[in-house]
Amino acid sequence: MSQNKKAKKIHGPPEYLVGFLQTFYKILVTHSGLELGFYDLITDLAIIESKKKLEIEFESEDYESLLYDWIDWLIYYFDTKHFVSNEIQVKVLEKANANKISLKATLKGEEFNLEKHPQETEVKAMTYSFMKVGVNFVEFTLDL
């Protein structure tokens, strides 16, 4: 996962951080969350079965990088392992230390199979272009 691009750092009082983490967590864990939106671009979520369980964990230097790394990891894992998920639980999203934010999640799904899963859109990459991370929203662009 490339972290060569510089992302704007978000600074604010502790209340802002707590509110932001709660909002980001809520966006990540809802059914219409970012990652399920990614998988919904690839295939029909209703067809995916929870045959395999993955535990993931990583750290990033700021929220934009965390969002980028999270979606980039999903793309990478789909491209290399052909894994699709329709059930994702974010277990931990916290400020690990002064310079890092950590994310731990469990994904349930299965190997993508063209005989079973209709192929919809090919996602090539996550981008920093037009990325916005705010108190009540997260926006980003995927390269299709």
CA pair distance 97, 41, nearest whole angstrom: 34
* pLDDT at residue 126 is higher than 50: yes
Q: Residue 24 and residue 59: Cα distance in Å, rounded? A: 15
pLDDT exceeds cutoff 60 at 16? no
Query: Which tokens is 69 given?
Result: 């790394």
DSSP letter for 117, please. S
Q: With the C-alpha atoms ordered 101, 31, 119, 50, is the resulting torsion angle positive or negative?
A: positive
Q: What is the Rg, in whole angstroms, of the alpha carbon atoms belonging to the chain?
A: 15
State pLDDT tens for residues 67-123. Answer: 888 889 989 999 999 999 988 887 767 777 778 888 888 899 999 999 999 998 888
Supply the CATH classification number for the domain 14-138: 3.55.10.10
Helices 14-29 and 63-81, interaxial angle, to 10°?
A: 20
Query: What pLDDT band is residue 30 in, cutting at 50, 70 and 90?
Result: very low
Question: pTM here?
Answer: 0.73
- For residues 120 and 42, the answer to whether their CB atoms sit within 8 Å is yes
